[in-house]
Amino acid sequence: MTLLIGQFEVRGFTVRKSKYPNGSVRHTLYPPSKNVGGAKWLHIFYVPNKEDWAKIERAALDAFYAEFDDHLMHEMNTQTNNQIDDIEF
């Protein structure tokens, strides 16, 4: 996932299913990072202000859910039984 932040384009964000879903938030945004050996990771993108991170995360997840919903609708329209519970993702 790529985010446009001001005049910067940051690539490498990932969205994963959350281990602890919170209401409508079923996924978590992870910033780009690089494994530097074992269980150690170097964070390539870091926002020290939690409020700023929450804004970035919300905008990214909103965009992700919009794309995800479009994908599910396309899948539902291409299947013959049209049962949304049967769509695999």
Q: What are the mean pLDDT values of the chain's consecutive 10-residue runs (89 residues total)? A: 71 85 79 90 89 90 83 68 54
Domain containing residue 23: 2-86
Q: How many domains does the chain fold into?
A: 1
Q: Phi then psi for 61, rounded to 5 degrees?
A: -70, -35
- For residues 46 and 30, the answer to whether their CB atoms sit within 8 Å is no
Q: Cα(47)–Cα(31) distance, rounded to whole angstroms? A: 9
Give the per-residue pLDDT at 63: 86
Residues in the chain, how many?
89
Record the pTM.
0.64
Q: Phi then psi for 27, rounded to 5 degrees?
A: -130, 165
Tokens of 31: 């910033």
Give the per-residue pLDDT at 80: 55
Residue at 87: amino acid letter: I
